[in-house]
Structure 1
Amino acid sequence: MQISMEKRKFKESVYSGISQLTKALSNPHRLEIIDLLAQGEKTVEVIAEEIGQSVANASQHLQVLKQARLVSTRRQGHYIFYNLANPDVFSAWQSLRSLSIRQIPDVKQVLNDFRHERNSLEAISIDELTEKLASDDLILVDVRPAEEYRMGHIPQAISVPVDQWDVQLDTLPLHKEVIAYCRGPFCVFADEAVARLRGKGYRAIRLEEGFPDWKGRGLPIAC
């Protein structure tokens, strides 16, 4: 009986610990923060603006993630920068993201509807991109914010952030294929860039995954 009790206590302790982690993930804003921090470290002010929350609310979400040891911090002067605690956090998010697309019809439907409206249902995988990178008939554009591009990007990619689209997108060589990528499958920048380019006669397509997925595969990155 004592051995059985010890086994039950062991299991309850283990699953209780895991449940604390899943509780930290059970909020859409905190999931978005993890997706955002996969691009690189950011301050609470930047995070708040990106997720459409007040600084106070963003800070509360970050504290929950920090208590669950999903994010870490570093201080530089008066600023605190948040980052994912380790690569396993992104791997967990990546698996959860893929599972949601496969298993939750509403998620897949919303994603498909959004891309259908922008004529960006077609995409290529990372494996297909690695084969295409050797071609001179290709332009790879990183449409994330410039700061994220500077922290790391796919080799050969040029930075074309949203606020530069009017200047840069329309001046790309029309005879070359354009592949746009951003933060990941739930990032809208690449879809919107592809829609804009196709509307102007470009052969444009988006990368299905984002830069963190490329980096997570251990492929070369540029800074």
Structure 2
Amino acid sequence: MEKRTFKNKVYQQLANIVKGMSNPHRLEILELLAQGRFSVAEIAEETDMSGANASQHLQVLKQAQLVSTQREGNHVYYELAGESVYKAWKSLRDLGIERVAEVERVLRQFRESRQSVETLSSSQLADKMKHEQVTIIDVRPQKEFSAGHIAGALNIPVDQLSDKIDALPEDREIVAYCRGPFCVFADDAVELLSKKGFNAKRLDEGFPEWMLDELPVEYSSN
């Protein structure tokens, strides 16, 4: 194989991966699949797409070898093809926040529009956990919580928080987290908690980043 042929083949395959990710809906799907495996119907519901549209995007991701499938009965479930896929998505996201002014501006404006929402880093939360200074709530759906969560976290999906808020301690700091920095579940939770007089903050990232940093995690079958 000649040098130019070799390079063309290698770069084409890498370009196929980039092409597979080059759509906002597919990026959102990858972020969702970082939480665990989902069916087409579940992905469509979580991303506000039709089933047919979600299926088309999933096929592109599968052709780019970014997702894999597993059949159980009549259902096909999708998941990330490996941890390296999430690392690539996270690197792209972080690059966008760092280098694309519009991404940083939109994120900052959204946070500023919710003046009650304060954030803290994973290292800050880990330090508070060592000193038992905080109550952690995972506001993702129960299915995602069961697939993995921050050790010691309580699962209170954001759409159930209003009904369960009285069970939370009023004399402790509460930290809410969800899927990642672009997920708004935690922002909604902190805004509600702050209005009710709680000292609440959101984790600046999400569970996938926490796990990637090899911080304490737990799993549940409930």
Normalising TM by the smaller chain, what interval? over 0.9
Show CA shifts across 1:8-40 (max 9, x none): 111111111111111111100000000000000
1:124 to 115, 120, 123: 120
Return the offset for 1:93: 0.5
Show CA shifts across 1:99-151 (max 9, x none): 00111111111111111111256311111111111233310000001110011
What residue is the counterpart of 2:85 in the other structure?
89
What residue is the counterpart of 1:100 in the other structure?
96
What residue is the counterpart of 1:36 in the other structure?
32
Return the offset for 1:59: 0.5
What code does the residue aligned with 1:202 have? F
Return the offset for 1:220: 2.9
Give 5+ residue unaligned stretches, structure 1: none
What residue is the counterpart of 2:11 in the other structure?
15
Alignment RMSD (CA, Å): 1.3
Q: How does 1:15-164 map to 2 (within 5 A)?
A: 15-119=11-115, 122-164=118-160
CA distance in 2, matches of 1:17, 1:114: 37
What residue is the counterpart of 2:186 in the other structure?
190
Show CA shifts across 1:160-197 (max 9, x none): 10221111224311111000100000000111111111
Greater mean deviation of Cα atoms: 28-37 or 99-108: 99-108
SS at match of 1:195: helix
What residue is the counterpart of 1:169 in the other structure?
165
TM-score (norm 1): 0.94
SS at match of 2:2: helix
Kindly indicate whether the alpha-carbon contact (under 8 Å) linking 1:144 and 1:182 is maintained by their aligned counterparts in 2: yes
SS at match of 1:72: strand
What code does the residue aligned with 2:61 have? L
Aligned residues: 219
What code does the residue aligned with 1:71 have? V
SS at match of 2:181: coil
TM-score (norm 2): 0.95
Runs of at least 4 residues off by over 6 Å = none
SS at match of 1:33: helix
**Same amino acid, percent of matched pairs:** 52
What code does the residue aligned with 2:88 have? A
What residue is the counterpart of 1:211 in the other structure?
207
The structure-2 alpha-carbon separation of the partners of 1:107 and 1:121, relative to structure 1 and needing over 3 Å to count, comes to farther
Kindly indicate whether the alpha-carbon contact (under 8 Å) linking 1:160 and 1:169 is maintained by their aligned counterparts in 2: no
